[in-house]
């Protein structure tokens, strides 16, 4: 039995929304949670699940529930709209849910039985984005039942459906209840109350009734349950119909072990790469930036670099000729130095743009799904680790390709490996910074906007193109990835004449490559720490 005693639920700013409420959900029953709009039905469920601040006590089978984690594997939550990856098929979503959450005892025959009960067998090959409203609700139920929870909270899963689809969902819930799953369903259609064993009525944040349908009618002196809200206005006395004590089960409850951290991590990596391939819009944009941006560098560098290599000061002839030769050499050196410095910075800025595109929408865009999966037992560390692996792969692809293309098409000198490493770390650090913004932002749009601002400040605050006041140089420079990418890349030129040409042109300190690599690693680690804070926070109810 799931019991709430003197439970009050608050906003995150401390305003009371519901309570104090005392109620119980007997096992193996279908419970309807009803009440006028805004009375606190969904809020009460979130308070029981500790998704919102609360006071009082919640206990499951006699064991006190102190946090959301205590309910993992014991309680499933199906929101009004199915939360799944829209680019994946029904079968892919369910298969990954099995790998992430299903205990070892969840055998193949049970899987097929679940699909038959839910009614999804005929829709396995459809993408989620192609499903109807009723099919989406069925998918939401299937994804929760993979974890084999004994209790299932359904928040308005029939709202907005046509009568036939609504009836089908309620029949599915009844079948689940007959198999021993305790159903608690927020429902608005009072004409369907005959489908439920127990009714729990809320009004203005208070529980005013709980009991079977016939008792509800008798208490409010109505023949038709759809008239209960009208009758509620005339009833002031609070009436609680206690559930029989004999329905309480034993205190202890052992639940099968879920997949461990490593298995979840591998599953999430696999899912992310499949999503990358199947989300053609994101795939196309990423590939266009990765392979298209280097062409922009080539456009400006195609004829610029070879000219300086061939230039030399004429040593014979009269004084005027030698002086003119030196002037021509310095002019060409400064032109080439400016070109080389600008091209390196251009590469770096383009890579920071790639990084912003990589990470800005990632976590914010799937935040509701992630929080939902945390309720099912997803470990935040596995989620975080999968993002690091995926974006490290993307960053290596982008950094190495930029290095290769510019180096071998435009003739950039210097060793390939250090240059590829510095450019890869540049894009990876900016990817993690954008991912950090995504993890603490309320939406992907906000995260993208902030990431764009950060990229926009890279060029002026680097001090390479525009001179900063000396007092501000080392105030901003430690945080500007573009400077460390530019400096680390340019440092690989030290044994080449291009480096001397840049020194004639740019009055900016050039740090050693290994120092730049260390600073970019620090950027990455700090950003990763922010990502960790963001994913460990509960943002489901915000």
- Tell me, what's the pLDDT at 313? 40
386 neighbors 269 (Cβ within 8 angstroms): yes
Calculate the CA dihedral of residues 292, 294, 299, 300 and round it to 10 degrees. 140
pLDDT value at position 331? 60
**The pairing of beta strand 198-203 with beta strand 206-211:** antiparallel
Task: Report angle CA 100, 104, 109 to the nearest 5 degrees.
Answer: 100
| DSSP character string of 461-519 | HHSSSSPPPHHHHHHHGGG-HHHHHHHHHHHTTTTSHHHHHHHHH--S----HHHHHHH
**Cα 182 to Cα 74: distance, rounded to the nearest angstrom:** 11
pLDDT of residue 440: 92
Helix, strand, coil % in the chain, rounded to nearest 5: 60, 10, 30
Domain boundary assignment for the chain: 268-536
Q: Over its length of 542 residues, how does the chain's per-residue pLDDT go in tens digits?
A: 899 999 999 888 888 899 799 999 999 899 999 988 888 899 999 999 998 889 999 998 888 988 888 888 889 898 877 788 989 999 999 999 988 888 776 667 778 888 888 888 888 999 998 888 888 888 988 888 888 889 999 988 888 788 888 888 888 899 889 888 999 999 988 999 999 999 999 988 899 899 999 999 888 888 898 888 888 877 654 444 444 443 444 434 455 577 889 999 999 999 999 999 999 888 999 999 999 888 888 777 665 454 444 444 444 445 454 444 455 555 655 666 777 888 889 999 999 999 999 999 899 989 888 988 998 889 999 999 999 999 999 999 999 999 998 888 877 888 999 999 999 999 999 999 999 999 998 788 899 999 999 998 888 888 777 777 777 777 888 899 999 999 999 999 888 777 877 777 777 788 999 999 999 999 999 999 999 999 998 776 54
Query: pTM value?
Result: 0.85
Q: Which pLDDT score, from 0 to 100, does residue 302 have?
A: 62
Place of tokens 């240059």: 419
pLDDT at position 245, please?
42
Is 339 in contact with 300 (CB distance < 8 Å)? yes
Q: Quote the pLDDT of residue 415.
A: 92
Planar angle of CA 9, 377, 442, nearest 5 degrees = 60
Helix axes 497-505, 319-359, angle to 10 degrees: 90
What is the structure's pLDDT at 243? 43
Residue 48 to residue 71: CA distance in whole angstroms: 10
> What local confidence, expressed as pLDDT, does residue 310 receive?
45
Q: How far is CA 245 from the centre of its chain?
A: 43
Under 8 Å CB-to-CB from 512, ≥6 apart: which residues? Answer: 491
What is the pLDDT, as a whole number, of residue 475?
85
């Amino acid at each position: 039995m799931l019991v709430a005693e003197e439970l009050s639920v608050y906003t995150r700013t401390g305003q009371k929304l519901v309570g104090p409420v005392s109620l119980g959900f007997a096992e193996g029953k279908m419970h309807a949670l009803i009440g006028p709009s805004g009375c606190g039905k969904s809020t009460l469920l979130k308070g029981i699940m500790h998704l919102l601040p609360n006071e009082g006590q919640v206990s499951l089978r006699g064991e006190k529930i102190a946090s959301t984690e205590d309910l993992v594997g014991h309680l499933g939550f199906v929101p009004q709209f199915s939360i799944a990856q829209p680019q994946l098929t029904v079968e892919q979503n369910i298969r990954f849910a099995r790998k992430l959450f299903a205990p070892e005892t969840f055998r193949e025959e049970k899987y097929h039985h679940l699909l038959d009960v839910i009614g999804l067998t005929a829709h396995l090959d459809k993408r989620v984005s192609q499903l109807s409203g009723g099919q989406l609700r069925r998918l939401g139920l299937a994804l929760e039942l993979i974890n084999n929870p004994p209790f299932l909270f359904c928040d308005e899963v029939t709202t907005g459906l046509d009568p036939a689809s609504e009836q089908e969902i309620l029949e599915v819930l009844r079948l689940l209840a007959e198999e021993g799953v305790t159903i608690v369903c927020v429902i608005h259609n009072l004409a369907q109350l005959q489908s439920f064993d127990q009714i729990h009525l809320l009004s203005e944040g208070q529980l005013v009734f709980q009991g079977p349908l016939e008792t509800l009618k008798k208490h409010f002196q109505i023949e038709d349950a759809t008239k209960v809200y009208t009758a509620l206005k005339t009833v002031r006395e609070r009436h609680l119909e206690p559930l029989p004590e004999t329905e309480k089960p034993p205190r202890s409850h052992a639940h099968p072990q879920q997949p461990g951290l490593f298995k979840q991590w591998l599953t999430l990596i696999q899912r992310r790469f499949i999503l990358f391939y199947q989300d053609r819009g994101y795939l196309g944009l990423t590939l266009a930036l990765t392979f298209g941006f280097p062409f922009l560098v080539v456009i400006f560098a195609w004829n610029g670099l070879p000219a300086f290599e061939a230039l030399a000061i004429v040593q014979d002839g009269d004084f005027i000729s030698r002086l003119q030769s030196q002037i021509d050499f310095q002019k060409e050196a400064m032109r080439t130095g400016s070109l080389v410095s600008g091209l390196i910075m251009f590469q770096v800025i383009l890579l920071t743009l790639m990084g912003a595109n990589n990470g800005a929408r990632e976590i914010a865009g799937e935040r509701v799904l992630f929080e939902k999966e945390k309720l099912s037992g997803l470990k935040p560390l596995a989620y975080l680790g999968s993002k690091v692996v995926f974006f490290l792969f993307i960053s290596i692809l982008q950094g190495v390709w930029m290095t290769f293309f510019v180096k071998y098409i435009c003739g950039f000198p210097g060793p390939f490996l250090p240059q590829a490493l510095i450019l890869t770390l540049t894009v990876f650090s900016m990817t993690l910074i954008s991912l950090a913004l995504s993890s603490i932002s309320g939406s992907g749009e906000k995260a993208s906007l902030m990431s764009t601002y950060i990229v926009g400040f890279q060029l002026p605050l680097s001090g390479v193109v525009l001179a900063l006041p000396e007092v501000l140089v080392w105030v901003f420079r430690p945080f500007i990835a573009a400077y460390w990418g530019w400096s680390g890349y340019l440092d690989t030129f030290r044994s080449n004449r291009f480096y001397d040409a840049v020194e004639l042109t740019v009055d900016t300190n050039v740090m050693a490559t290994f120092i730049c690599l260390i600073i970019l690693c620090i950027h990455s680690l700090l950003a990763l720490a922010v990502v960790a804070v963001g994913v460990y926070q509960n943002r489901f109810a915000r």
